Structure 1
Amino acid sequence: MGVEILDNGTRVLTAPGAAFGTDALLLARFAQPRQRERALDMCSGCGIVSLVWHDAGYRGPCTALELDAEASALCAGAAAENQAAHIEAVCADLRGFCTAGPEQGRYDFAACNPPYFTAGPCSPDPRRATARHTGSCTTGDAIDCARRALRDGGRFVLCQRPEAMAGVLSALCAARLEPKRLAFVKNAPDRAPWLFLVEAQKGRKPGLRVEPDILISAGAALYGPQK
């Protein structure tokens, strides 16, 4: 087991097959729940998104939803180590989450860093394959879970590869999750983007704002053009 330390001292527990990448950090920082809002971190893995929110000062009730039991246990362990009692690690399949009437619409904010890959070779490690390929969760599954979980007006943030953007935006609109903010992630100003981040709001009117590119420099995310 490994330990990563975030900016303000929050400890993140990791293990082979349950680590995190730059995309998860970008997602966690692109938009965050407000204090006392109820948040849902889908495909939470080791809990990195929930823990970044905690590191930034968020203390509202937060459900970290993860299919892999070992990764979910890491999240629970990190929550205990950081005295983050507001983070509840839940090991469950998001495809069956918030399906009953009283459960639906409980959340104010949701985020998901979903599996990206629909084709190509899978890792021989079944845990890594599950985290990276869409056999156990498609982006559409995540969007449908957000639709069920969020109250009217609730916000949903998602990251995905640029080649999937048209389908993602279409699926969000079909689920009444109106895209409101969009940003591309690049390694340099003159490079093609390798990721996009989108924030949607449930049941709101159309109106999308495209924000300055997020540039990655020396492992850090810089919002707007570099000087």
Structure 2
Amino acid sequence: MTEPSLTAGERIDGLPSQNIRIIQNPDMFSYSLDAILLAHFADVKGKGRGHAVDLGAGTGAVGLFYAPKVSGRVTLVEIQPELAAMAQRSIDLNGMSDRVSVLQKDMKNIFEDIKPGSVETVLSNPPYFPLNDTTKTNHDHHYELARHELTIDLPNLAQIANKLLKNNGKFYMVHRPDRLADIFAAFAKRKLMIKRVQFVYGKAGREANMVLVEAIKSGRPGGVRILPPLIAYDETNDYTPEMNNILYGKAW
């Protein structure tokens, strides 16, 4: 495998359990635990031959961590050209160019490239923070787009996922627990029925700081399962055994 030529500020980070390496630049944006946990949380339908799409892919972490779980195509959709270019180099670095590709576009404009109703699985680690009169955005444009709903909000993201998915296709998302009411409302209005929810805690005894959600397009209402909590760190600030296994154990 040929090592890439890194530009100033870039580095290669990896997820040992999936044997995947990601090129990123912390001065622009870099993935964190939420991307790993979303890829781990997302199930595989059937034999995993269907098309999967990562909306707002950034440097491609979610889609690339998920790709070893399936045998079908994975498309990484990213609006920022610099991040899309890094994602493409990570695809090449991992030898996945035969079935993983980057679509550098606003996700609202992808339907000339991806046929509506053709996708089995949609994944998204979207901007967490809504825009309002009190919003304080980051001065760095890359971080603004990644953290704040400047180009996409929850209702529009849910609509795009619905349009992409086949009936009974699944949408997986990681978000903040304080947006849970917004998530349920946006999904229900667009026939995305939430079926599994898992809360993630930094440490035991603290409030949840992440929520993982699975929804099915045109699924039956009700039947929501709340999974056991996932705790990231123990009292000595080391990873818990469950988290350590996700990061360094056997391939998912």
Q: Do the structures match in fold with TM over 0.5?
A: yes
Aligned with residue 41 of structure 2, among 22, 30, 33: 30
Partner Cα separation in structure 2 for residue 81 and residue 17 of structure 1:
20
Q: Determine the C-alpha separation between the residues in 1 that align with 2:169 and 2:83.
A: 27
Tell me the amino acid that sits aligned with residue 148 of structure 1.
Answer: K
- Asked if 1 retains the 8 angstrom alpha-carbon contact of 2:154 and 2:182, the reply is no
Letter in 2 for 1:111: L
Partner of 2:85 in structure 1?
Answer: 73
**1:178 match: secondary structure:** strand
Q: In the alignment, does 2:112 pair up with 1:92?
A: no
Is the 8 Å Cα contact of residues 181 and 199 (structure 1) preserved in structure 2?
yes
Q: Cα distance, 1:179 vs. partner? A: 0.3
> What are the superposed Cα offsets for residues 6-55 of structure 1, whole Å, 9 maximum, x if unpaired?
2143211101213101111111111144421210000100000111113x
- Choose the corresponding residue for 1:209, options 225, 234, 239: 225
Higher relative CO (CA 8 A, sep ≥ 6), structure 1 or 2?
A: 2
Show structure 1 runs of 5+ residues with no match.
none
Closer/same/farther in 2, CA of residues 62 and 110 from structure 1, 3 Å limit: same
> Aligned partners of 2:69, 2:226: CA distance in 1, in Å?
27
Q: Summarize deviations over 1:181-224 as a string: whole Å, max 9, x none.
A: 0011112231111111110001110211111111112346837x
Residue pairs, 1:160-199, within 5 angstroms:
160-199=175-214
| Match in the other structure for 2:162 | 147
Aligned counterparts of 2:240 and 2:13: Cα–Cα separation in 1: 16
1:10 corresponds, among 20, 30, 51, to 20
Q: In the superposition, relative to structure 1, how do residues 214 and 88 fare at CA in structure 2: closer, same or farther (>3 Å)?
A: same
Q: State the distance in 2 between where 1:94 and 1:219 align.
A: 35
- In 1, Cα distance between equivalents of 2:111 and 2:241: 33
- 1:41 corresponds, among 36, 51, 54, to 54
Rg larger in structure: 2
Cα separation, 2, equivalents of 1:57 and 1:175: 28
- The runs of at least 4 aligned residues of structure 1 exceeding 6 Å deviation read none
Give the aligned CA root-mean-square deviation in angstroms.
1.8
Q: Which of 157, 165, 173 is matched with 2:172 structurally?
A: 157
Aligned to 1:108: 120
Deviation per residue, 1:76-115 (Å, 9 max, x gap): 1111111102111011111223279x81101000011000
TM-score (norm 2): 0.82
SS across alignment from 2:31: coil
Which of 124, 135, 160 in structure 1 is aligned with 2:139?
Answer: 124
Scaled by the length of structure 1, the TM-score of the pair is 0.91
